[in-house]
Chain A
Amino acid sequence: MPETRLRRPGLVMTILGTLLLAVLMISLMTGSIAIPPQEIGARLAKVVTQWRCDDSTDQILWMTRLPRIMLALLVGATMGMTGLASQTLFRNPLASPYIMGVSNGAAVGAVIGLLASSFVPYTLVPVLSVCSGLTVSFLVFLLARRGGHFGQSLLLAGMAISAFCSSLTAGALYVAGERLQTLVFWLMGGLWQATWRDVLVMLPLCVICLIALRLLAPAMNVSLTGDRTARDLGVNVVRLQRQLLVLIAVATSVAVSLTGVIGFIGLVVPHLLRLAMGADHRHLMPVTALGGAVLLLGADTLARTVVAPAEIPVGILTALIGAPVFLWMLLRHGGGRAGE
C-alpha cells in the first residue's frame, strides 16, 4: 500500500467534520421544497418535542428528508469502514466488498425478492438480500480456505462467484417483464425509499461495525506485515480474517438490501484518506467512516437536486466520481500490493 506524506488525523477529522456539517445543512435545506436554514432547527425541535407535523413542510423534513439523510450517513460510513477492512484483509488498496462478491450476492437475493413481491411480502426483500449476501460470503470463504494463499484465493473465489451472481441477476432482469424498470433502478443504487425503519436497522449495525473494527484496528495494523510476521507478533491471523469477513459480509449485505448497489465509496474513501493521514487503522477507521458518510450524503444530495424534481440513482453519481479516482489510483500506484 502506498505510504502517506501527511499524518494529521486531527486536521483531517476537523476538515471532514466541517464538510459534514455543511453538506448536512445543504441537504436539509434543498429538495422539492426549499427550507430556510433558520426554520430547520425550529421545525425539527417542534416535531421532536410535540411529536406532530403541522404542515407538509414538517412532513417532508421529518418523514422524507431526515431519514434519507440519516440513512445516507449510516450507509456511507459503513461502506467506508467495510472498504477499509477489505483492503486490509487482502492487503490490497484496490480491494472492496464488491470484489469479494458480497454486493452482487446480496443483489441477487434482493432482485429475486423484488420479482416475487407479488407472492411474498415486500418486507422479505431485505431479508432475502441479507441471506443471499451471507450465503455467497460463506461460499467464497469455504472456497478460499481450500486454495493456497488465503488472500489470493479469496479474491479469485470472490471474482468467480461475483460473476456468477451477476449472470443470475441478468437472468432475473431478462424475465422481469414489466418490473424491469423497478429492478434496474434499484440495482443502480439509491436512497429514495429511505424510512426511519431502515435507519433503525442500519444504526446499530454501523455502531457495531465502528466499535468492532476500532477494537480490531491494532491487529489490522500488524496484519499489514504479512501473515507470518503478524502471527509471530501475536495476531491470530485466521481469527482476524474470519472476524473481518463476517463484519464485511453482514454490513454490506444489509446496506445493499436497503439501498441497492452503490459502488466506489468503499474503494475510494479509505484509499484517499490513507494517502492523507497514514495507514494506522486506529485513526483511519473512524475518519474513513466520517469520509464515507460525507461522500454518500453529498452524492445523494446532488442526485436528488441536480435534475429535480426527477432524481439520478446515487450509484451512478458515485461511479462517476469514483471511476476517475480509481483510475488515478491505478496509474499513480500501479495497484501495488502490500505485504506480499
Chain B
Amino acid sequence: MNLTANDISFAYHQDRPILNEVSLTVQAGIVTALFGPNGCGKSTLLKCLNGSLRPSSGCVTLDDEPVNGMSSAEVARHVAVVPQDMPRNIPFTVHQMVMLGRYAHGQMGRESAEDCRIVESALSRVDANTLGNRFFSQLSGGERQRIAIAIALAQQGKVLLLDEPASHLDISHQLEFYRLVRQVASEGQAVLMVCHDILLAPLFTDRCVLMKAGSILEAGKAEDVLRPANLAHAYGCHAEILWGRHFEVQARFPEVPQ
C-alpha cells in the first residue's frame, strides 16, 4: 500500500504557507527518511499525510483513495502514527495503552484474544514485555517512546509514519529501533520517519527526502541527497558525510571551531 501526497500545499495563516506543492510517495516495503531544518514543514506534512490536516490544494491518496474522504477509524486501520511526544499523565498501564492501538479495529470496545496476542507481540518487538503492568506516567522518556511505537505496531497499519521517533532513545535503543523499522518495512509496510539525525538514520533507510521552507529540495539515496551543497542550502551549515559499507559513516564539520 502506497501513501502519496500529490502537489499538496498547506497554510495555517494564508500569508504564511507551510507546504508548497509537495509531492511525495511513501512506498510499501521502503523506509523513507524525511530531513530538514526546524520549522520547514516536516511535521505538518506528516499531519497532512494521515488526514489530520486537510491540504489547501492537492490531495493525499492511499492507493488512489483520497485520505480526507476516509473516516478517522478507517485511516487509523491503514496508517499508524508515532507522535513526537505523548502526554505523560495518562492514567493507564502500558498494556492498556498499547491496547488503545486496537481501537480502530475494535468491536464495541471488546478485546479479543487476537487483540491480546497482537498487543503482546507489539510489546515484545519494542522490548517492553516487562513494562506491561507499569503505569505509563511512571516511565522514562525513552520507555514512553518505545510504548508509542508499540501502540503504532498494534494498529497493524500498512503505513507507518514516525515523527522524530528516536529523539528520546539512547544509542542502544536507537539501533534496536532502526532494526525494527527495517524489519517492519521488510514485512511490506511503507515507512516514513521524520529525522534530525543525518548520520545514523540514513544507514537504515532506503530513501532520503530533504525539505526546506515547505518544499522538497531533493529526494533519493542518502549519498545523493545529504551532500554538502544540499546540507548547506537546507541547514545553512557545512558538513561532509561519507558513507562506507557495513553501517560505517564519517562526518566532517569544517566550520566547528577547534
Interface residues of A (CB under 8 A from B): 1-4, 215, 217-219, 221-222, 224-226, 228-229, 231-237, 274, 278-280, 282, 336-340
B103 at the interface (CB under 8 A from A): yes
A residues within 8 A CB of B83? Answer: 228-229, 232
Shortest 10 CB-CB distances between A and B: which pairs? Answer: A234-B76, A218-B109, A234-B104, A234-B73, A279-B91, A232-B81, A1-B91, A3-B91, A3-B135, A339-B87
Mask of B94-113 contacts with A, CB within 8 angstroms, 1/0:
00110011011010110000
Given A218-B109, A219-B103, check contact A231 B89 (CB 8 Å). no
Given A228-B52, A235-B103, check contact A215 B108 (CB 8 Å). yes
Chain A residue nearest in CB terms to B99: A221
A336–B90 CA distance with the chains assembled, in angstroms? 11
Q: Is the CB of A225 within 8 A of B109?
A: no
Tell me the B132-146 residues at the A interface (CB within 8 Å).
135, 137
Interface residues of B (CB under 8 A from A): 50, 52, 71-77, 80-81, 83, 86-87, 89-92, 96-97, 100-101, 103-104, 106, 108-109, 135, 137, 151, 155
Q: Is the CB of B101 within 8 A of A233?
A: yes
27 sample A-B contacts, Cβ–Cβ < 8 Å, listed by A number: A1-B90, A3-B92, A217-B109, A218-B106, A218-B108, A224-B90, A224-B92, A228-B52, A229-B86, A231-B52, A232-B50, A232-B52, A232-B76, A233-B76, A235-B72, A235-B103, A236-B72, A237-B72, A274-B91, A278-B92, A279-B92, A280-B96, A336-B89, A338-B89, A339-B87, A340-B87, A340-B89
A residues within 8 A CB of B155? Answer: 233
B residues within 8 A CB of A229? Answer: 83, 86-87
B residues within 8 A CB of A233? Answer: 76, 100-101, 103-104, 151, 155
A282–B83 CA distance with the chains assembled, in angstroms? 26
Q: Is the CB of A218 within 8 A of B103?
A: yes
Candidate in B77, B90, B108 with the most chain A CB atoms within 10 angstroms: B90
Q: Is the CB of B86 within 8 A of A225?
A: yes
Partner of B90, one of A4, A219, A234, A338: A338
Chain B residue nearest in CB terms to A220: B109
A280–B96 CA distance with the chains assembled, in angstroms? 9
Least distance between B87 CB and chain A CB atoms (Å): 5
Least distance between B29 CB and chain A CB atoms (Å): 23
B residues within 8 A CB of A340? Answer: 87, 89
Q: Is the CB of A222 within 8 A of B103?
A: yes
Least distance between B44 CB and chain A CB atoms (Å): 13
Additional A-B contacts beyond A218-B106, A234-B104, A278-B91 (19; CB < 8 A): A3-B92, A217-B109, A218-B108, A222-B100, A225-B87, A228-B52, A229-B83, A229-B86, A229-B87, A231-B52, A232-B50, A232-B80, A233-B100, A233-B104, A233-B155, A234-B76, A235-B73, A278-B92, A339-B89
